[in-house]
Structure formats: C-alpha cells, structure tokens
Amino acid sequence: MARNNTNFKFMNNYQFGKFLMRYVENFNETLEECDKIRSAIDNLFEKTRSFFHKQITIFVCLFMIPFALHLFASLEETAERIMLYIGLIGWSGMFSIELIAMYVEGFGSYFKNLWNVSDLMSIVYPIYVGMINKTNCVQSLPKMHHAKHYVQDFIHLTEEAKAMILMRVVIVFYILIKILYFLKVNDSLGLMTTLLLGVFKGVGPFLVIFFLLVIFFAVMAAILGAN
C-alpha cells in the first residue's frame, strides 16, 4: 500500500489526469457524479491553460512574428538574419516542449496523437535557416509582398532556392496547425476549431473520391485527344 501511495504522490500532472480519466471509465461513472474528480480535473485544466498561454507567447513573439517579418518585410541582410535567429530560439523552446512531452507520454502514445505528429513538421525550420546560411541567399529569395511575380521568380530560381521556398510552405502550414491547436484553449474559439476540424475530417473521404474522378476523366480526355 505504501508503495502505491508513493507512486501516486510522484505522478506528474499528465499522468494524474490520465489516472482520473481511467478511474471514471473503469467504474462507469460520469463526471457529474464525481464532484471531487471533476474539481481535480478542472484544477489541472487551469494549470494547463496557464502553460498554454506561456506557449502561445513564446510561439507568437519568438517564432511567428520574426518569420513573418522575414517573409514580408524589406529588411537589410543583418536584420533579416537576426529575425531568423530569433525564430530559431523560439523554435528551440517549442521543440524542447515536444521532446519533454514525448518523454512523459511515452514514444508510442506520443505518436498516436496527430497534433503531436504535426508538431514535428517544425524540424524543417532549422534546416531552412541552415540552408540560407550555407547558400548565403537570404536577400535573393523573393518576398511575399511581390506575390504578383512570385510564380515567375520561382521558375527562374536555383534548385536550392526552390527547395527553400517549399520549406517556407511547410513552415507556414505548421504555423496554421499550431494556431488552430492553441485556439482550443479558448472556450468559444476552441469549439469552432473542433467543429471545423470535424468537418474537414468528414469531408476527407469525399475529396479523395472527387480527385480520383477528376484524374480519371482527365486521363480519358487525354486518351481521346482533347485539347
């Protein structure tokens, strides 16, 4: 008995939360019937909300804003490199949190969560910064405010520059996923985010069939010699 109490005492918040949820499932009780458990979960959620707010601050101030300035602002080469390095500091903080989560949850459990898998896309950012330093082309990459000529510029870029442009796309997609994830902390925005993600998940099979049909009819048109 003493041994179990010791293990329980040294549970972290994540493990304790999992323990409470397993208790509710195993004893077939609802949270409405378990006032003490519900209050404990609410207390853990408040701690988690505070932690999320710190994460959002790090993400926005030390990653998203510097990267946006790198994409859109007309900066001198030194200032642009500073923005990239600030973003690298923010990325290090966020990625360290993911490594800690991987250790706490366990390798298998961590990758069962699609949000965690999407977070690993951020590994592209240090590769992007490293390629910019290696090729020294921070000023030669086209800016997003020149979007009118972006496609033409992309065609005439070197292979390394094209790879870095594609990395930009991955990083921007990662930022979008991360923002949707952080919005779940807010009660109203979190509900809307959950609804939208549910819609996208439901529409997914339809889109697969739709694109298969488009490709099928396009191939048929090409076989028939349509222009």
Task: Looking at the structure, tell me whether residues 123 and 199 fall in a common domain.
Answer: no
Q: Could you say which of 152, 170, 185 is where a domain stops?
A: 185
Task: Looking at the structure, tell me whether residues 225 and 158 fall in a common domain.
Answer: no
Task: Looking at the structure, tell me whether residues 35 and 136 fall in a common domain.
Answer: yes
Q: What is the pLDDT of residue 92?
A: 94
Q: What is the pLDDT of residue 84?
A: 92
Q: Residue 183 and residue 44: Cα distance in Å, rounded?
A: 18
Task: Looking at the structure, tell me whether residues 158 and 59 fall in a common domain.
Answer: yes
Task: Looking at the structure, tell me whether residues 116 and 209 fall in a common domain.
Answer: no
Task: Looking at the structure, tell me whether residues 33 and 113 fall in a common domain.
Answer: yes
Task: Looking at the structure, tell me whether residues 32 and 140 fall in a common domain.
Answer: yes
Q: What is the pLDDT of residue 164?
A: 85
Q: What is the pLDDT of residue 219?
A: 85
Q: Residue 221 and residue 213: Cα distance in Å, rounded?
A: 12
Q: Residue 182 and residue 193: Cα distance in Å, rounded?
A: 10
pLDDT averages per 10-residue partition of the chain, 227 residues = 42 58 59 60 67 86 93 84 93 90 83 83 92 72 55 68 86 90 78 78 85 89 69
Q: What is the pLDDT of residue 85?
A: 93
Q: Residue 89 and residue 67: Cα distance in Å, rounded?
A: 12
Task: Looking at the structure, tell me whether residues 117 and 202 fall in a common domain.
Answer: no
Task: Looking at the structure, tell me whether residues 179 and 203 fall in a common domain.
Answer: no
- Residue 216 domain boundaries: 189-227
Q: How many domains does the chain have?
A: 2
Q: What is the pLDDT of residue 6?
A: 39
167-188: per-residue pLDDT in tens?
988 999 999 988 988 887 777 7
Q: Which of 173, 83, 79, 168 is nearest to 157 (CA)?
A: 168
Q: Is the pTM of this model over 0.75?
A: no
Task: Looking at the structure, tell me whether residues 118 and 73 fall in a common domain.
Answer: yes
Task: Looking at the structure, tell me whether residues 200 and 157 fall in a common domain.
Answer: no
Task: Looking at the structure, tell me whether residues 219 and 167 fall in a common domain.
Answer: no
